[in-house]
Structure 1
Amino acid sequence: MAGLVIAFKDFNPFAGIWASDWVGFAHFARIFEDDEVIRVLWNTINIALLQILVAFPVSIVLALMLNEVRNGTYKRFVQSMVYLPHFLSWVVVAGIFTVFLRGEGLINTVLGSWFGIEAIPFLTDPAFFKPLITLQIIWKESGWGTIIFLAALAGVNTSLYEAAVIDGANRWRQLWHITLPSIRGVIVIMFIIRLGNVLDLGFEQIFLMLNPFNMDTGNVLDTYVYFKGIQQGDVSFATAVGMFKGAVGLVLVVIANRIAKRFGEDGLY
């Protein structure tokens, strides 16, 4: 952690961390002055919002669906299938999507031979980048994300469902008035944790899907730090960007936690 002092210095690898000149908050000021950083930050926020609004609820819906399955063997089989992508590396996931979505890939082959549609540039058209990244997150991590929600569902008092059946409540009423309120606290906590990583999209996934055609749309803070800090050697500025990400995550967690407590939830702390 002491190495973060680089963000406040004009780091010189020959002089070392402590002998490098102090520049104060100059690198942090560059974050808001550089047009490229603003664009990269906007890309990061857009993808993060897509993941929160689209990918995060998928785990909840999937857990609710699995909870309704009464056949134990079938339920365990489905759980295994949706957990499996989590154990694949992003290199494998990117390879699978590339094979399916490239110009002569399976998807375009089917669209062309069956429907007469010209090849769609899924991998090079910037308009497809953000939905594609979100789809990868859903496919790879949604199944794994159901574990905590299924554990919360297992703790719901079954007598509540029995009383609801006696009162004439159907499955949808039971879901709305018993199941969701019972796991609302867990959903809030997981949402707060997710907000803490709102600017941390993961370097590997984005980097593997980037190419010269979608760079303007797909370059995010994680990859920007790599290009700026490693390839161009601007270590101090890259460290400042990393600290900025952490500070934003901390502020969002504190705000979300206070809002949760205002509405009567336990919150994260």
Structure 2
Amino acid sequence: MKKVLTIAGSDSGGGAGIQADIKTMTVHQVYGASVITAVTAQNTLGVQDVKTLSARAVSSQLESVLNDIEFSALKTGMLANSEIIEEVALKIKKYSLSNLVVDPVMVATSGDLLLKKAAVKTYKEKLFPLAEIITPNLHEAKVLAGLEAEKSIDLEQLAAELMKFGSNYVLIKGGHSSQNNQSRKAVDLLYDGSYFRKFEAEYIETNNTHGTGCTLSAAIASNLAKGMEMGKAVAEAKDYLTEAIRNHFIVGQGNSPVNHVWNLK
């Protein structure tokens, strides 16, 4: 069984972060290990508190698992600050890790800020050049490109801007954009520096989408670990996420998570 590492925050409500990643990896039949960067007090109503671990604590976890386990892929989620991002980048280089999926988590679905603004520069300079793929949503992509949220920009142009930061692939997730809502399609755009490829799925009208970004990136990492080429890894991950959204169920009083185990009999 292939092993995949997630480096992310803990979601006490179980819908996103480490918890979503491990569930996703498990149903994709890979072994999931974790390094926790932060602990959130969180439920379906939002994030009530965040305790970020020290870079040293993150480093200790990384050394522990990387000295013992051989990983075929890894993904990052909530990294919280520049110090943690730099530590993660150092370990990736030290252990020559491949198939890095970077989900540049900045804001939770609830709107809560999960990344210090100064860390955006560190993402671009330290971590993105090591990534096989980065998976920002439309809002995150605009922030990374230095654009205002209201600024209108062609997705292909935006993807080309993000490629300048050094990853091998850019996947811009468009599921939250108003344009996709009107067209009834959730369209993601993959770019490898030469070719663009669109992935379309039905836009499902629901507020129960907590953990979508974590789930998609964990699924991509799992697929890469199993040897899939990038296009197929993204396509299958998007199909899995679409059905996880379609088969959601009510967990709490707010925005419930996607159903990570929809395909288990």
TM-score by length of 2: 0.25
Q: Which has the higher helix share?
A: 1
Q: Which has the higher strand share?
A: 2
Q: Which has the larger radius of gyration?
A: 1
Q: Which structure is richer in relative contact order (CA contacts within 8 A, separation 6 or more)?
A: 1
TM-score by length of 1: 0.25
